[in-house]
Amino acid sequence: MAFPQHYLRMTLSPLHITNWQNARFLYESAFPAIERRDSNAWKQMWKENSLFHIDEILLADNTFAGFITYWNFTDFVYVEHFATMPQVRNQGIGKKVIEALKQKFSTPIVLEVEEPTNEMATRRIGFYEKQGFSIIHKPYMQPPYHKGDDYFPLLIMATNETHAQTHFEQIVQTLYKYVYEVNIK
C-alpha cells in the first residue's frame, strides 16, 4: 500500500515505550545478529546512555513506520541503525528522515556502509550520496558487536567530507570508545 507524501509525519521524536515491541521486531528482522547488539542490551543502552537515541518514524495516523538510532557526540552525529517497515519502503520515507535529521543537527552526520560488493550495498551507498553524504576513502574496520566475532571492513560516509577527512582518526576513536566499547591504545 502506497502512502502519499502528505500522509507522513516526519518529525523525529524519542521512541515511545508503547512502540518498543515494534522497534525491537524491526531491529531483529532488518539487521542480522552480527550487525546489531542483543535486543535487551539495545534497550538498556537506550534507557541509560544519554548519547544514544532511538527516534521513531511515524505516519500521520501515528502508525509506526520505522526508527533511526544515532549517537549525538560533540563534533558529529553518528547514525548506527536506520530501518523502515517493509510495507512503507521505497516511498521516500528514507529521504525525509535524513532531511529531518540534517535539520535537527548542525554538526556533520557520519555513518557506516558496506563496501559496494553487491547490488544492495551499491544501492545503499547511492541513496546516501543522493542525500549529501560522501565516502571517506580511508581504511576502516568496524569492531564486532559480540565477543569472538571478527572486525569487519566498512566505509565511513559523512555529510561534511572535509570535516570527516580532517578528523577521521578522532571519529574512529569516538566510535570505538562509545559505540563499540573498544579500548584504543
Q: What is the pLDDT of residues 85-126, one digit of tens each?
A: 999 888 888 998 999 899 989 999 999 999 999 999 999 999
CA atoms of 140 and 68, how far apart (whole Å): 22
Task: Write out pLDDT tens, residues 161-172.
Answer: 999 999 999 999
To the question of pTM greater than 0.75 for the whole model, the response is yes
Q: Which three cell numbers stand for residue 5?
A: 507524501
Q: Locate 137 and state its grid cell.
A: 576513502
Which helix (H) or strand (E) segment is 78 a member of?
strand 77-84
List, as one string, the DSSP characters of 164-183. Answer: HHHTHHHHHHHIIIIIS---
Q: In what order do the strands lie in the sheet with 52-59?
A: 8-14, 52-59, 64-72, 77-84, 109-113, 152-158, 134-142
The amino acid sitting at 107 is T
pLDDT digits (tens, 9 = 90+) for 127-181: 999 999 999 999 999 999 998 999 999 999 999 999 999 999 999 999 999 999 9
Look-up of cell digits 546489531: 36
Residue 12: pLDDT band with limits 50, 70, 90: low
Amino acid 46 reads: W
C-alpha 41/C-alpha 180 separation (Å) is 12
